[in-house]
Structure 1
Amino acid sequence: MAFVITSPCQHEKAAGCVDVCPVDCIAEGEDQYYIDPNTCIDCGACVAACPVEAIFDEHELTPEQEEQLEKAENFFG
């Protein structure tokens, strides 16, 4: 299980999530930040740090947000 950064990040890119991640699994992409699903330890620190509430547990994604998990997997793939 991992957390996923969704589309509200595309308008914000505040990077608070990067600063609090204990395993440095968040990287900046061209359009938003991404969480490496293979490195994420599910601590949830990033969720509290996000000012636009863009980060969700992968099992809580809506069907519209599912593509964000695929984008993250492709980004780190």
Structure 2
Amino acid sequence: MTFVVTDNCIKCKYTDCVAVCPVDAFFEGPNFLVIDPDICIDCALCVPECPADAIFQDTELPDEQKHYLKINEELSQQWPNINALKAPPADADEWNGVPNKLPLLEK
């Protein structure tokens, strides 16, 4: 099992979750974070730390978010690892809660 970063992280990219990950399973893109399913140990420490409520266990993914499992898997192989807290984008709070952000994902 793994945890999955979903739609609401796009353009928010809070890194509170990264700081608590004991196995450095997060990877960073221009405006989104992903979790490598091969590294994730299913500890759930990241879930309560996410201010955007964008992280779900793969078995608990809402139907409309299931495609993010593949997105996390693919992009974690392309993007650099992140293991430290960073400041979120200046407009992150404005994007938090905006639905259907997949077209805004920068790869």
1:30 CA displacement: 2.6
Percentage of identical aligned residues: 45
For residues 30 and 67 of structure 1, what CA distance do their matches in structure 2 show?
Answer: 19
For residues 73 and 30 of structure 2, what CA distance do their matches in structure 1 show?
Answer: 15
Aligned to 1:11: 11
Aligned to 2:105: none
1:22 CA displacement: 0.4
Aligned to 1:46: 46
Structure 1: state its 5+ residue gaps: none
Q: Secondary structure at the match of 1:12?
A: coil
For residues 11 and 75 of structure 1, what CA distance do their matches in structure 2 show?
Answer: 16
Aligned to 1:27: 27
Number of residues paired by the alignment?
77
Structure 2: state its 5+ residue gaps: 78-107
- TM-score, normalisation: structure 1: 0.92
For residues 31 and 10 of structure 2, what CA distance do their matches in structure 1 show?
Answer: 6
Q: Secondary structure at the match of 1:40?
A: coil
Q: Secondary structure at the match of 2:11?
A: helix
- TM-score, normalisation: structure 2: 0.68
**Contact 2:3/2:56 (CA < 8 Å) preserved in 1?**
yes
For residues 20 and 76 of structure 1, what CA distance do their matches in structure 2 show?
Answer: 18
Query: Where do 4+ consecutive residues of structure 1 move more than 3 Å?
Result: none
1:59 CA displacement: 0.5
Go from structure 1 to structure 2 and tell me whether the alpha carbon gap of 1:11 and 1:76 turns closer, same or farther (over 3 Å shift). Answer: closer
What's the RMSD between the two structures over aligned residues? 1.0
For residues 12 and 30 of structure 2, what CA distance do their matches in structure 1 show?
Answer: 13
